[in-house]
């Protein structure tokens, strides 16, 4: 491969990391809009999603152009495939961050809700997963990626607890229905961001080891035997 090819590969990696930083920031701001009662951040998150979408389009276009022009193989091909996958996961994370931000107004109408401590802890866990997934992508670190996969169970458990806490609060009556539904929506979106961070971790493992670990690494061929 030519030096131009490697220069273009390096460029799309940098673009992906910039996009990742935007997604991480959007997620943090969306959560802060709720935990810090900062409704002014909602518009920032919603408007910022257009930039994330623009990066997705640009990276997707560049990857397909490089595939057509250079026809890379082996590790270089795995890198392009990984970038395409991570690119899509990041764009979807941005959408979930936007959905979280849109729930802020209903939640902030209440001084506090019983499910908030669990939701806040869940948010911290998810942010840590996103950061580690992005760090693993930067470093090609399969071990760090594996730790992201392991962290997902705790996030799922806290999501279930938020649901249970909200249901209990609703059963007691009072004006908590709108806020409760919004908290469940936030928890679901946080869970999905955690799932997407896990997907990125799996993509990193594929890049580094050439091994597919999604869905336990099953294939149609193994199911037919």
Return the domain boundaries, the chain: 3-218
Q: What is the pLDDT of residue 169?
A: 86
Q: Does the CA dihedral 207-208-214-216 come out positive or negative?
A: positive
Mean pLDDT of 108-129: 91
Nearest-angstrom CA–CA distance, 106 and 131: 28
Instruction: Say whether pLDDT at 213 is over 80.
Output: no
Instruction: Say whether pLDDT at 215 is over 60.
Output: no
Nearest-angstrom CA–CA distance, 22 and 118: 25
Counting residues of the chain whose pLDDT is more than 70, the rounded percentage is 93
Instruction: Say whether pLDDT at 51 is over 80.
Output: yes
Mean pLDDT of 114-122: 92
CB contact at 8 A, 146 and 197 = no
CATH class of segment(s) 3-218: mainly alpha
Instruction: Say whether pLDDT at 163 is over 90.
Output: yes
Q: What is the pLDDT of residue 134?
A: 92
Instruction: Say whether pLDDT at 220 is over 60.
Output: no
Mean pLDDT, the chain, integer? 91
pLDDT-derived band of residue 217, with 50, 70 and 90 as boundaries? low
Buried b (16+ CB within 10 A) or exposed e, 89-108: bbbbbbbbbbbbbbbbebbb
User: Taking Cα atoms as reference points, which of 74, 90, 113, 124 lies closest to residue 20?
Assistant: 90
Helix axes 3-35, 116-139, angle to 10 degrees: 170
Name residues whose C-beta falls within 8 Å of residue 51's C-beta, 6 or more positions apart in sequence.
22
User: Taking Cα atoms as reference points, which of 150, 144, 131 lies closest to residue 193?
Assistant: 131
CB contact at 8 A, 132 and 147 = yes
Q: What is the pLDDT of residue 190?
A: 98
């Amino acid at each position: 491969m030519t030096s131009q090819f490697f220069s273009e590969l390096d460029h799309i990696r940098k673009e992906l990391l910039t996009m990742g930083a935007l997604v991480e920031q959007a997620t943090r701001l969306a959560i802060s809009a709720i935990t810090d009662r900062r409704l002014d951040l909602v518009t920032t998150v919603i408007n910022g999603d257009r930039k994330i979408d623009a990066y997705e389009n640009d990276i997707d276009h560049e990857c397909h152009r490089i595939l057509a022009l250079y026809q890379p193989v082996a590790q270089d091909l795995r890198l392009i495939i990984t970038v395409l996958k991570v690119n899509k996961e990041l764009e979807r994370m941005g959408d979930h961050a936007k959905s979280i931000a849109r729930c802020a107004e209903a939640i902030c109408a209440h001084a506090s809700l019983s499910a908030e401590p669990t939701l806040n802890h869940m948010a911290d866990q998810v942010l840590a997963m996103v950061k580690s997934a992005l760090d693993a992508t930067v470093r090609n670190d399969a071990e760090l990626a594996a730790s992201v996969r392991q962290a997902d169970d705790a996030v799922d458990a806290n999501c279930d607890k938020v649901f249970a806490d909200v249901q209990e609060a609703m059963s007691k009556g009072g004006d908590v229905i709108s806020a409760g539904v919004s908290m469940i929506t936030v928890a679901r979106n946080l869970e999905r961001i955690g799932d997407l961070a896990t997907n990125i971790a799996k993509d990193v493992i594929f890049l580094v080891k050439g091994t597919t670990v999604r869905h336990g690494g099953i294939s149609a061929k193994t199911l037919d035997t």
